[in-house]
A and B are shown apart, each in its own frame.
Chain A
Amino acid sequence: MTESSMLLRGATLIDHTGERQGDVLVADGRVTQVSANIDAAGAEVIDVVGCIIAPGFVDLHTHLREPGMTEAETIETGSRAAALGGYTAVVAMPNTDPTQDSVEVIEFVRRRGIEVGLCDVRPSGSITIGRAGEQLTPFAELAAAGVHVFTDDGSGVQDAGLMRRAMEYGRELDIVLAQHCEVSALTKGAVMHEGECCSHLGLPGWPALAEELMVHRDIELCRLTGARVHLLHLSTARSVELVRRAKADGLPITAEATPHHISLTDERLSTFDTRFKVNPPLRTMADIEAVRAGLVDGTIDAIATDHAPHAGHAKDRPLDEAPPGMIGLETAIAVCRAHLDMSWQHLLGAMSWRPAKIAGLDDRHGRPIAAGEPANLVVLDPDAEWIVDPHKLSSKSSNTPFVNMSLRSRVRHTIFEGTLVVRDGVAQR
């Protein structure tokens, strides 16, 4: 028994194989034993009666803002927020400055993530150089450097011809092309969902169609090329239906939805609070219900945060100038639990093992809780009640839309590679 071993006693264990009661012994970065009433002399015993132990969460969609926008977030502060939210791996979006379009930048982000050591930081690569939508990045070279997810997130690839080439070229590599679905010709100057609410508020609308057209386009390009395609932050009812049909056709398509798109409607903008400006925008109740239903029936595979920190002064600008985005890592599980009518196992799958597979991280994350597996785990207190105070969140920015909201379920401990990086809700570094 090594000094670093710990025994998590008395929780309910939930992974993709099912649900059971038991103790979990962790040593040397691995789960070494799982059974009832383990007697492990020398191990630190952590009482987790009443809690759920699950594989650590995996976020397919995190903006860590480093390099380039470290006033809003850094790899360190973002990793800390992730760990506090129960995440053991995050896919870092490429819209940094410089863009994550070269091995040098990818290596910087990856290395910095390892130095921080609070979770597994996996940089995505952009599809096009500088996310300018013109030339492809070196997919194979970036893939060899460990990139699995390619996306121009922040904007969609507008040129259908170029996207077709990206899929054709990427098909033979073990990568996934992730699309931010937005036909920008339909969203010029857009601030919020186009509908009844924006008509009264006099704000330029972002029509659902702008997303659905690109969802449809990429489904058809996927059918043509056979490439693996992941659709980011689906927000409309018709998008969900299009994906449902594509999956019924057997296409290699996956999709994600965010906690805010299953919990908040466009009416939140009626106070002109820039915290609620996000891209794609908050939509109607009918859309929310359709996205929830998509998560329940598996049309939408994963919950992803689209954690998008912005400095306070950036959000203090008029709505049309303020950048879109909200932070979400530390509130995700509690918000999803409140707004999704599904079993714990299904919900945790959408937070952990399904996104792990999409991101190509399923060798270390989203694993069954069993002897010999990497110890990337979250311990969740399902009944802990708390109120969201933006200043108590660990992200460097405080642009949460859930401010002052009362939530239930909270991450108590997070174990990353066998180390307790969050203990009793407090980050350990």
Chain B
Amino acid sequence: MAKHFRSIDEAGRDHVIRLLNLTDHMAEVNRRLHPKVPALRGRTVCNLFFEDSTRTRLSFDLAARRLSADTLTFTAASSSVNKGESLRDTVETLSAMGVDAFVVRHRSSGVPWQIEHWTDAAIVNAGDGWHAHPTQALLDAYTIMQRIGRSTDLDGLEVAIVGDIRHSRVARSTTEVLRLLGARVVHVAPATLLPPHPIAEQIGDLDEVIDRVDVLYMLRMQRERMDSALVPAGVEYVERFALTAERARRLRSDALLMHPGPMNRGVEMLVDPSEVPQSAILDQVTNGISARMAVLFDLLGSGTGLEDQ
């Protein structure tokens, strides 16, 4: 059994397949009239959010509660971190309260690895720097499989991930999981927003791939990138890489439109996704609960307790 869930590469294929199957079980739980099971009763999950992310935090919190775990939440904004407390002291202190799992979000890559020396608790990576966001990857893979009706692989599928790949933990983890499942991943971005060394096939022109891909995965584009001269100021990025109504019309009818949220309307999204029938964006949010339940159950559960209480 795995002790932590911190990146797709670290987890490996068997662990990912197991989690995808578990996600499907959890989706079934979530469709029940009373979507709550006793599987993690008496276990304590601590959301350790050094970087603010309301959506991810709420999603993990709900996932833990649906498994009947006790939850506590630490957010840097309202905590002793502002008084100069170190990462190590924070982790050791919370750990001493009897935490079974930490769900960690930090703006610096690698923090979920660093803290393993200071706690015996399981560690779930809820996003570290530009590095990894493996539960997002899991929910993305599950969403695609669910929509196209596959259960074990994504062989032959082509997925274009568009936008700020370089600074995106979502791009890295989702690329890893999709490739692990057999999909072909193409990164679409200007060279300044790609990693220095390619981690997937790269294309600089969205219009070259938009009418053929099975999945169009739009990333959030931060306006600050223009201030640091990674892209020209003004509308050029929007014209070249945003999803416009015209581009949305060119998507195949059986394609999927995805986005990890939160969307930056007017930057990478110039269409209302609710008007794009191919959109799976809200499915991603829904499946996020199931995927995170699967991860927590896998790390903390005894393998039982998924029946109604």
Interface residues, chain A, CB within 8 Å of chain B?
Answer: 191, 194-196, 198-205, 207, 271-274, 313, 316-321
Chain B residues whose CB sits within 8 angstroms of the CB of A196 once the complex forms: 197
Can you name 18 A-B pairs with beta carbons within 8 Å? A194-B196, A198-B196, A199-B195, A199-B199, A200-B9, A200-B199, A201-B110, A202-B129, A202-B169, A203-B109, A203-B130, A207-B196, A272-B109, A273-B114, A316-B86, A319-B108, A319-B110, A320-B108
Closest to B194 in A: A199
B106 adjacent to chain A (CB < 8 Å):
yes
Chain A residues whose CB sits within 8 angstroms of the CB of B109 once the complex forms: 191, 201-203, 272, 319-320
Chain A residues whose CB sits within 8 angstroms of the CB of B9 once the complex forms: 200
Closest to B108 in A: A318
Asked whether A195 lies within 8 Å of B108 as measured between CB atoms, the reply is no
**How far apart are A164's CB and chain B's nearest CB, in angstroms?**
28
A195 to B129, CA, bound (A): 17
Supply 4 further A-B pairs (C-beta < 8 A) apart from A194-B196, A316-B86, A320-B109.
A199-B197, A204-B130, A272-B114, A318-B87
Asked whether B131 lies within 8 Å of A274 as measured between CB atoms, the reply is no
Closest to B6 in A: A272
Closest to B9 in A: A200
Interface residues, chain B, CB within 8 Å of chain A?
Answer: 9, 86-88, 106, 108-111, 113-114, 128-132, 169, 172, 195-199
Chain B residues whose CB sits within 8 angstroms of the CB of A321 once the complex forms: 108
Chain A residues whose CB sits within 8 angstroms of the CB of B195 once the complex forms: 198-200
Asked whether A272 lies within 8 Å of B110 as measured between CB atoms, the reply is yes
**How far apart are A416's CB and chain B's nearest CB, in angstroms?**
38
A317 with B86, Cβ < 8 A, contacts A199-B198, A205-B196 known: yes
**How far apart are A291's CB and chain B's nearest CB, in angstroms?**
21
Asked whether A202 lies within 8 Å of B197 as measured between CB atoms, the reply is no
**How far apart are B273's CB and chain A's nearest CB, in angstroms?**
27
Chain B residues whose CB sits within 8 angstroms of the CB of A203 once the complex forms: 109-110, 129-131
A272 to B7, CA, bound (A): 13
A202 to B87, CA, bound (A): 20
**How far apart are B124's CB and chain A's nearest CB, in angstroms?**
16
A40 to B98, CA, bound (A): 69
Asked whether A195 lies within 8 Å of B196 as measured between CB atoms, the reply is yes
Asked whether B199 lies within 8 Å of A316 as measured between CB atoms, the reply is no
Most B CB within 10 A of own CB, among A203, A274, A319? A319
Asked whether B172 lies within 8 Å of A200 as measured between CB atoms, the reply is yes
A336 to B186, CA, bound (A): 44
Chain A residues whose CB sits within 8 angstroms of the CB of B198 once the complex forms: 199
Most B CB within 10 A of own CB, among A194, A199, A271? A199
Closest to B106 in A: A318
Q: Which 4 A-B pairs have the closest CB atoms?
A: A272-B110, A202-B131, A202-B130, A318-B108
Chain A residues whose CB sits within 8 angstroms of the CB of B199 once the complex forms: 199-200
Most B CB within 10 A of own CB, among A198, A271, A272, A313? A272
A272 with B113, Cβ < 8 A, contacts A202-B130, A318-B106 known: yes
Most A CB within 10 A of own CB, among B113, B131, B196? B196
A200 to B88, CA, bound (A): 25
A337 to B130, CA, bound (A): 38
A313 with B108, Cβ < 8 A, contacts A201-B131, A202-B129 known: no
Chain B residues whose CB sits within 8 angstroms of the CB of A199 once the complex forms: 195-199
Closest to A193 in B: B196
Chain A residues whose CB sits within 8 angstroms of the CB of B130 once the complex forms: 202-204
Asked whether A316 lies within 8 Å of B131 as measured between CB atoms, the reply is no
Q: Which of B110, B132, B169 is the one whose CB lies under 8 Å from A318?
A: B110
Asked whether B114 lies within 8 Å of A318 as measured between CB atoms, the reply is yes
A318 to B104, CA, bound (A): 13
A80 to B111, CA, bound (A): 34
Chain B residues whose CB sits within 8 angstroms of the CB of A205 once the complex forms: 196
A110 to B131, CA, bound (A): 46
Chain A residues whose CB sits within 8 angstroms of the CB of B87 once the complex forms: 316-318
A274 to B87, CA, bound (A): 14
A198 to B130, CA, bound (A): 10
**How far apart are B167's CB and chain A's nearest CB, in angstroms?**
8
A200 to B9, CA, bound (A): 10
Asked whether B196 lies within 8 Å of A313 as measured between CB atoms, the reply is no
Chain A residues whose CB sits within 8 angstroms of the CB of B110 once the complex forms: 201, 203, 272, 318-319
**How far apart are B103's CB and chain A's nearest CB, in angstroms?**
17
A120 to B129, CA, bound (A): 44
A313 to B88, CA, bound (A): 8
Q: Which of A202, A204, A207 is the one whose CB lies under 8 Å from B132?
A: A202
Asked whether A316 lies within 8 Å of B88 as measured between CB atoms, the reply is yes
A223 to B132, CA, bound (A): 47
